[in-house]
Structure 1
Amino acid sequence: METKTRVCRKCLLRDMEEAEAFKNMYDYIANLNPEDKVTDEQYEQRLLMCRQCEHLLSGMCRKCGCYVEMRAAMKIRHCPDVPGRW
């Protein structure tokens, strides 16, 4: 019996069943130097904007190939869309 692959559009990695597989990424984000991280409020706002973007697919940005949850956590990063959303 063939199983269908579920494509998760508009989902962040933390919303997917496979989220545990990305534990290392979440550990990396948690251990970033506080001076390099955006505030929790900014982080959630950035992710909200990513959720509304047509380039989000299964937690990845189709514009640049990054995991949006990692990119959104860092002050020096920005949205790769033109114009950028954040």
Structure 2
Amino acid sequence: MTAPHCRRCLLNELDGEYFKSVYKYIDSLPQELKASPEIYSRRLGVCRECPELKNGMCSQCGCFAEVRAAKRHMACPMGRWEREI
């Protein structure tokens, strides 16, 4: 079943087995590569309000917002949040 188009939805708000594999990938990242839980949550809050978020994907770069936000070395392609050092 294909998920309906959802503006400003994150993957965890959409239904589907495919999205579970994305969270398995995030969980498998080495701890030293992950953003802190506070920063991850803040980043997702920013993404959630961004008009470029569509069905959990950033229309600017094509990534899954949760994956990009989970990696400490990543930054928002729109400059809305920065890398965690």
Mark yes or no: TM-score above 0.5.
yes
Deviation of the 1:6 alpha carbon: 3.0
Q: Residue in 1 aligned with 2:80?
A: 85
Per the alignment, in what secondary structure is the counterpart of residue 68 of structure 2?
Answer: helix
CA RMSD of aligned residues (A): 1.2
- The correspondence of residues 12-27 of structure 1 with structure 2, limited to 5 A, is 12-18=10-16, 20-27=17-24
> Which structure 2 residue ranges, 5 or more long, are not aligned?
none
1:72 and 2:69 equivalent?
Answer: yes
TM-score by length of 2: 0.86
1:44 and 2:44 equivalent?
Answer: no
Runs of 4+ residues over 4 Å off in structure 1: none
State the AA in 2 paired with 1:63.
Q
How many equivalent pairs are there? 79
Identity rate, percent: 47
Whole-angstrom distance in 2 between the partners of 1:58 and 1:48: 15
TM-score by length of 1: 0.86
